[in-house]
Amino acid sequence: MLFSRFIPKYKVYKYIDIKSLGNDYRMAVIYMKYKIAICDDEQKQIEYLSGVVSAWASKNRHVVEIKTYSSAKSFLFDYSEEKDFDILLLDIEMPGMNGMELAKTIRRENGIVQIVFITGYPEFMSEGYDVSALNYLMKPVNKEKLFSILDKASERIEQKEGSLVLETENGIIRINFSQIMSAEAIGHTTLLTLTDRKETAKIGINDFEKQLNDSFVRCHRSYLVGIRHISKITKTDVILDSGEMLPLSRRLYGEVNQKFIGYYKGES
């Protein structure tokens, strides 16, 4: 885990209920994980922004996965398979498709990702309302201003995502909805496949489903899936970003497909 390198004397817990730690609660480090894309045609700018994002994450005890791109085309190539980005830092002036055009393309199907524009041209700022941009940063980018904007982005993400507390075989834990890839009914328990591990919750899948928000959908009588983790839907299967395939009931195909499209249009 990332932060064990920076603070080795602490034990790192992810989304855990502090009460379940008993006397060890002072040793817990609670952190959030964000997937952030930086798209800029200047390598020095990419390196600088990556450094600032990493420093922000370290300061706030977050974990970040940073992916960098030198063009809108290269980003869209990855985005076609990976739609789970949380924050986008986009340069506006780039060869070929510019950052504003890229943002408009993304917003046609994704109304939830946080978009931050980075530009040396203030005349573009008025166009940001069309794509619900979180903010603009003028070059050269000020570190503290970017910290502040990333704070705001993370607050918005946390407000939208939500979490729940569950009793599992490993104790009582708090899990963010964004971490839940799928849930499978196993007798009177529910096997959760999370982004970093598996947990068995001591609750039936029907009662578990009642605690979720609209970012989940039932794809089979024994399976629930986190919509943000869906990569592809076929007539018989739901394929996750991880490559895992879940069975898709014929009677649920229409609902799953509709919710998948609606989620990325910001309708859920």
User: Domain check: are 10 and 105 in the same one?
Assistant: yes
Q: CB-based contacts of 186: which residues, under 8 Å, 6+ apart?
A: 200
Residue 56, pLDDT score: 96
Last residue of a domain, one of 161, 184, 207: 161
pTM value? 0.60
User: Domain check: are 206 and 190 in the same one?
Assistant: yes
User: Domain check: are 45 and 106 in the same one?
Assistant: yes
Contact 263, 254 (CB under 8 A): no
User: Domain check: are 46 and 155 in the same one?
Assistant: yes
Distances (CA, A) of 102 to 67, 82, 130, 189, 226: 16, 15, 12, 44, 26
User: Domain check: are 118 and 59 in the same one?
Assistant: yes
User: Domain check: are 173 and 50 in the same one?
Assistant: no
Distances (CA, A) of 197 to 58, 102, 159, 171, 182: 23, 34, 24, 15, 11
Last residue of a domain, one of 136, 161, 186: 161
Q: Which letter does DSSP use for residue 177 in this model? A: G
User: Domain check: are 11 and 107 in the same one?
Assistant: yes
Residue 157, pLDDT score: 80
Q: Which residues pair with 69 in a beta bridge?
A: 39
Residue 124, pLDDT score: 63
What would the two tokens of residue 105 be?
């393309």
Residue 214, pLDDT score: 84
- Tokens 């503290």, residue located: 144
- Give, for all 268 residues of the chain, the pLDDT tens digit: 222 222 222 233 333 343 444 444 333 334 567 899 999 999 999 999 999 999 999 998 888 999 999 999 999 999 988 888 899 999 999 999 999 999 999 988 787 899 999 988 776 666 656 677 888 899 899 999 999 999 999 888 876 667 788 898 888 887 888 889 999 999 999 999 998 889 999 999 999 999 888 889 999 999 999 998 999 999 999 999 889 999 999 999 999 999 998 877 655 5
User: Domain check: are 169 and 232 in the same one?
Assistant: yes
CA distance 112 to 157: 8
Please report, for the domain that includes residue 195, its CATH number.
2.40.50.1020
Please report, for the domain that includes residue 85, its CATH number.
3.40.50.2300
Q: Which letter does DSSP use for residue 2 in this model? A: T
Residue 160, pLDDT score: 67
Residue 122, pLDDT score: 73
User: Domain check: are 71 and 153 in the same one?
Assistant: yes
Q: Is 246 helix (H, G, I), strand (E, B) or coil?
A: strand
Structural domain containing residue 82: 3-17+25-161
What domain count does the chain have?
A: 2
Last residue of a domain, one of 161, 177, 207: 161
CA distance 136 to 140: 12
264's enclosing H/E stretch is helix 253-264
User: Domain check: are 42 and 150 in the same one?
Assistant: yes
CA distance 114 to 152: 10
Of 74, 65, 80, 84, nearest to 39 by C-alpha is 74
User: Domain check: are 170 and 95 in the same one?
Assistant: no
User: Domain check: are 231 and 131 in the same one?
Assistant: no
